[in-house]
């Protein structure tokens, strides 16, 4: 990744009692990039997030935000962070605008112009003067995003941001978050158990298991070229395709092979010449869920509220 990271986790560790919860976790987060944070139940996601926002002190290591240590310069570094946890708390008897005005007073130098700017960014111009009690959950979530952006943070951290939203609300929130990341150059870090959503929302994925970062992948890397071939006898097909160097694995009733489209006709020809019967040949796209289960050895993805 080009450019300088906005956030750096440097050998972050946390021990509680005799148990090492987080083990030497290092990760860089970049401007304009959305990073998804995944892990099975008890993997250490919530503990990591708490250390990133200064709610928990690391046993060793550090979190650097825009060049400043959150431990040595807490107030200066935390000013650069915006946080959204699931279902942000709002004053329902007040309008959306009055809520933003109220929260803007918690930060220095948030002008009326800046409030109008974030209202536009999250597409709430038409409803901002209505009471929050009249908002759908999706609207309240967008207001929560506007609130988190008021002080122009460089880093936005979201914990289960689409929890409880219907599919339309999830899609809407995703589009606004991607727009904010690209327009404002904010580094975004999203922890969620909705794998299909993380795949659509994020530029890359970081996977934690047993307190260790086990993988970091760009989302476009997840979709390398694979084909599913169902041929009988499967043992013969496996032998023929292995002999020409295709990486392959058994899948369902057939085989998954890693190759480009132009090699498929030749592979079929060889299989037919060897006497194999071919029933299916089709492109195969592994979902993030498949790959997550493969990476974590089948560990259950963390559900909402999991620590």
Q: Looking at the structure, do residues 132 and 270 belong to the same domain, yes or no?
A: no
Please give the Cα distance from 42 to 26 (Å, whole number).
Answer: 19
Q: Which residue has the tokens 């327009």?
A: 183
Q: Looking at the structure, do residues 171 and 258 belong to the same domain, yes or no?
A: no
Q: Looking at the structure, do residues 88 and 237 belong to the same domain, yes or no?
A: no
Q: Looking at the structure, do residues 76 and 124 belong to the same domain, yes or no?
A: yes
Q: Looking at the structure, do residues 217 and 247 belong to the same domain, yes or no?
A: no
Q: Lowest mean pLDDT: which of 35-39, 129-133, 258-262, 292-296?
A: 292-296
> What was the pLDDT predicted at 261?
79
Q: Looking at the structure, do residues 93 and 23 belong to the same domain, yes or no?
A: yes
Please give the Cα distance from 221 to 162 (Å, whole number).
Answer: 25
Q: Looking at the structure, do residues 115 and 91 belong to the same domain, yes or no?
A: yes
* 1 falls within a domain: no
Q: Looking at the structure, do residues 138 and 160 belong to the same domain, yes or no?
A: yes
Q: What CATH number is attached to the domain comprising 93?
A: 3.40.50.300
Q: Quick one: which H or E segment has residue 236?
A: helix 234-243
Q: Looking at the structure, do residues 240 and 156 belong to the same domain, yes or no?
A: no
Q: Is residue 15 very low, low, confident or very high in pLDDT (cuts 50, 70, 90)?
A: very high
Q: Looking at the structure, do residues 105 and 122 belong to the same domain, yes or no?
A: yes
Identify the domain containing residue 71 by its residue range. 7-221
* 307 falls within a domain: no
Give the percent of the chain with pLDDT over 90. Answer: 41
- Sheet with 7-16, side-by-side order of all strands: 19-29, 7-16, 60-65, 68-69
> What was the pLDDT predicted at 294?
64
Q: Is residue 300 very low, low, confident or very high in pLDDT (cuts 50, 70, 90)?
A: low
> What was the pLDDT predicted at 143?
92
Give the percent of the chain with pLDDT over 70. Answer: 89
Give the domain-ending residue among 204, 221, 238: 221
* 304 falls within a domain: no
Q: Looking at the structure, do residues 103 and 150 belong to the same domain, yes or no?
A: yes
pLDDT tens digits for range 50-71: 999 888 999 999 999 999 999 8
Q: What CATH number is attached to the domain comprising 274?
A: 3.30.70.120
* 292 falls within a domain: no
pLDDT at residue 108 tops 60:
yes
Q: Beta-carbon neighbour count of residue 5 at 10 Å?
A: 18
Q: Is residue 24 very low, low, confident or very high in pLDDT (cuts 50, 70, 90)?
A: very high
pLDDT at residue 304 tops 50:
no
Give mean pLDDT, residues 184-207.
88
> What was the pLDDT predicted at 11?
95
Nearest to residue 126, comparing CAs of 154, 97, 161? Answer: 97
Structure tokens that stand for 56 in this block: 């928990």
pLDDT at residue 306 tops 60:
no
Give mean pLDDT, residues 279-285.
83
pLDDT at residue 305 tops 50:
no
* 306 falls within a domain: no
> What was the pLDDT predicted at 2?
53
Structure tokens that stand for 33 in this block: 């990039």
Q: Which residues pair with 12 in a beta bridge?
A: 25
Asked if 287 and 195 count as a contact pair (C-beta separation under 8 A), the reply is: yes
Q: Is the link from the previous residue into 233 a cis peptide, with omega within 30 of 0? A: yes
* 45 falls within a domain: yes
pLDDT tens digits for range 230-241: 999 999 988 888
Per the structure, the count of domains in the chain is: 2
* 274 falls within a domain: yes
* 156 falls within a domain: yes
């Amino acid at each position: 990744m080009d450019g300088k990271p906005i956030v750096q986790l440097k050998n972050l560790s946390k021990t509680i009692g005799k148990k090492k919860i987080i083990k030497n976790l290092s990760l860089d987060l970049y401007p304009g990039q959305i990073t998804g944070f995944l892990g099975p139940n008890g993997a250490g996601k919530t503990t990591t997030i708490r250390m990133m926002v200064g709610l928990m002190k690391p046993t060793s290591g550090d979190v650097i935000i825009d060049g400043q240590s959150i431990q040595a310069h807490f107030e200066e570094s935390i000013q650069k962070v915006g946080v959204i946890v699931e279902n942000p708390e709002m004053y329902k008897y007040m309008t959306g605008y009055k809520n933003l005005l109220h929260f803007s007073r918690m930060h220095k130098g948030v002008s009326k112009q800046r409030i109008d700017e974030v209202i536009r960014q999250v597409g709430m111009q038409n409803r901002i003067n209505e009471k929050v009690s009249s908002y759908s959950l999706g609207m309240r979530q967008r207001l929560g995003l506007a609130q988190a952006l008021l002080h122009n943070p460089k880093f936005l951290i979201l914990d289960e941001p689409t929890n409880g939203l219907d599919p339309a609300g999830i899609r809407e929130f995703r589009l606004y978050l991607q727009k904010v990341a690209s327009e404002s150059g904010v580094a975004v870090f999203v922890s969620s158990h909705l794998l299909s959503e993380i795949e659509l929302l994020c530029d890359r994925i970081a996977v934690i298991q047993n307190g260790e970062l086990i993988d970091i992948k760009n989302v476009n890397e997840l979709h390398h070229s694979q084909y599913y071939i169902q041929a009988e006898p499967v043992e013969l097909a496996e032998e023929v395709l292995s002999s020409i160097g295709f990486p392959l694995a058994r899948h369902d009733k057939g085989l998954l092979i890693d190759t480009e489209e132009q090699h498929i006709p030749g592979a079929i020809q060889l299989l037919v010449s060897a006497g194999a019967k071919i029933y299916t040949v089709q492109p195969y796209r592994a979902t993030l869920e498949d790959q997550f289960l493969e990476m974590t050895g089948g560990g259950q993805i963390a559900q909402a509220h999991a620590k």
